[in-house]
Amino acid sequence: MEEQLIPPETLTSFHNFITSPNCKTILALVGAGLSSASGLPTFRGSGGYWRHYNSIDLATPDAFERDPGLVWQFYSYRRHMALMAQPNAGHQTLAQLSHNDKINFLTITQNVDGLSQRANHDSRKLIELHGSLFCLKCTNFTCSYSDPANFKDPLTDSLDASSLVHDKGNTEDLPFLSDDKLPHCPACETGLLRPGVVWFGESLPWVSVDKTDEFIMRNHVDLILVVGTSGVAWPAASYVDIVKNQGGKVAVFNIERDDTDTESWQFIGDCSKILPVALDPLIDQVNVRSEVQ
C-alpha cells in the first residue's frame, strides 16, 4: 500500500497526535491479521480448517488427551510454517517502536508464531498473551519442566512437517501416532510434552495478564493500536474500553472498516503495509538516534 491510499486527512491527524506531547504512552494489541501478511493462516472463519479437521477442535486439552498424536501433527505443521515465514514490515515497525526510548510502549500479541521476537522486538516490551508454539511444557502433573524456546524441526521423526501439507481439500485421515512417536519430557522421561500455547478452556497466563494490567493501570495510555484483530472480542474489547475510559485514543489497523466506530482512526488494508506509513514519524526518531550514536 502506498501512502496516498490512506486518506490524507486521517494520516495527517494521526501523525499530528503521535508526535505531540499528548502521546507519551502507546499500547499495541496484535492479532492474527498481522502475521497473515507473512503467509500464515489465521485458522479463523472460513479458513479455520486444517486438512479436514476443525482447528478449534484440535486446540483443547480434551483433544490432546483423546489423541495427542493428531494434535501434535497439527502443531508441528504450525511450528514448521512459522519457522518458514519471515517477519513482515508490520512486525518490524512495532519492533523498531519498542526501541524508541521517547515512547513508553508495550505490545500485547495474541499470536503464537514468534515473528515479533524474530523482528527484534524488545523482549521487555512484548507480552505473548496466548503463549508460543516454540515453548514446550510437560503434561506430567508432578513435573514442572518447561522449555521456553525450542526451535527443533521436526521434534520427532514422525512429526516431519513434509507429510503434513496444508490442504483444505484433503479428506484423508492422518496416521495414528502412538505416544512413543511423540516428544517426551527430558526431565521426568515419562510425561508427554505439549505446545506451550493457551488452548480453548484454559486460562491466560496470570503473569502476562498481571503485566498487562499493571502497564494499563499505572500509566495513562494515550493511544492503543489495534492491529489485525477485532476490537470486539475479549480481551481486545476490555483493553480498548479501559484505554477509552482513561481518555486515550484508538487506532485500528485491519482489512475491514467498522462503520459503527466513528471515534477511532481507522487504517484499512494490509497491516504490514499500513503500519510503517502510519508510525513513520516515531520510527524516524529511532533511526536518527541510531545514526547519531
Task: Indicate yes or no: pTM above 0.85.
Answer: yes
Task: Work out whether the CA dihedral 290, 251, 44, 205 comes out positive or negative.
Answer: positive
Which amino acid is residue 53, in one-letter code?
Answer: Y
Residue 291 has pLDDT above 50, yes or no: no
Residues 55 and 98 reside in one and the same domain: no
Residue 293 has pLDDT above 50, yes or no: no
Closest CA to 128 of 45, 211, 47, 188: 211
Residues 232 and 93 reside in one and the same domain: yes
Strands 223-227 and 249-254: parallel
Grid coordinates representing 125 are 516490551
Residues 169 and 279 reside in one and the same domain: no
Three-state SS annotation for the chain:
CCHHHCCHHHHHHHHHHHCCCCCCEEEEEECHHHHHHHCCCCCCHHHCEECCEEHHHHCCHHHHHHCHHHHHHHHHHHHHHHHHCCCCHHHHHHHHHCCCCCCEEEEEECCCCCHHHHCCCCHHHEEECCEEEEEEEECCCCCCCEECCCCCCCCCHHHCHHHCCCCCCCCCCCCCCCHHHCCECCCCCCCEEEEEECCCCCCCCHHHHHHHHHHHHHCCCCEEEEECCCCCCCCHHHHHHHHHHCCCEEEEEECCCCCCCCCCEEEECCHHHHHHHHCHHHHHHHHHHHHHC
CATH of the domain at 227: 3.40.50.1220
Residue 289 has pLDDT above 60, yes or no: no
pLDDT tens-digit map of 1-23: 344 468 899 999 999 999 999 99
pLDDT for 258 equals 81
More confident residue, 243 or 293: 243
Residues 15, 52, 130, 220: which is the catalytic one? 130
Would you place residue 193 in the very low, low, confident or very high pLDDT band (cuts 50, 70, 90)? very high
Tally Cβ neighbours within 10 Å of residue 212.
20
Residues 137 and 252 reside in one and the same domain: no
pLDDT tens-digit map of 30-83: 999 999 999 998 876 545 778 788 888 999 999 999 999 999 999 999 999 999
Cα angle 141-110-256, degrees, rounded to a multiple of 5: 150
**Using CA atoms, how far apart are residues 141 and 57, in angstroms rounded to an integer?**
23
Residues 125 and 210 reside in one and the same domain: yes
The answer to whether 91 is a known catalytic residue is: no
pLDDT for 43 equals 72
Last residue of a domain, one of 197, 226, 243: 197
pLDDT for 162 equals 72
> Is 106:127 a contact under the CB 8 Å cutoff?
yes
Cα angle 166-170-174, degrees, rounded to a multiple of 5: 80
Residue 111 has pLDDT above 50, yes or no: yes
Residues 47 and 13 reside in one and the same domain: no
Residues 160 and 287 reside in one and the same domain: no
**Using CA atoms, how far apart are residues 287 and 293, in angstroms rounded to an integer?**
10
Residues 152 and 55 reside in one and the same domain: yes
pLDDT for 256 equals 87
Residues 13 and 125 reside in one and the same domain: yes
Residues 1 and 144 reside in one and the same domain: no
Last residue of a domain, one of 152, 180, 197: 197
Residue 287 has pLDDT above 80, yes or no: no
Spatial neighbors of 75 by CB under 8 A, at least 6 apart, are 133, 195, 197
Query: For the ranges 128-142, 215-229, 278-292, which has the lowest average pLDDT?
Result: 278-292
pLDDT for 108 equals 96
Q: What is the mean pLDDT of residues 259-271?
A: 90
Looking up cell 499528548, which residue turns up?
22
**How are strands ordered across the β-sheet holding 126-128?**
126-128, 104-109, 25-30, 223-227, 249-254, 265-268
**Using CA atoms, how far apart are residues 292 and 166, in angstroms rounded to an integer?**
47
pLDDT for 284 equals 75
Q: How many domains does the chain have?
A: 2
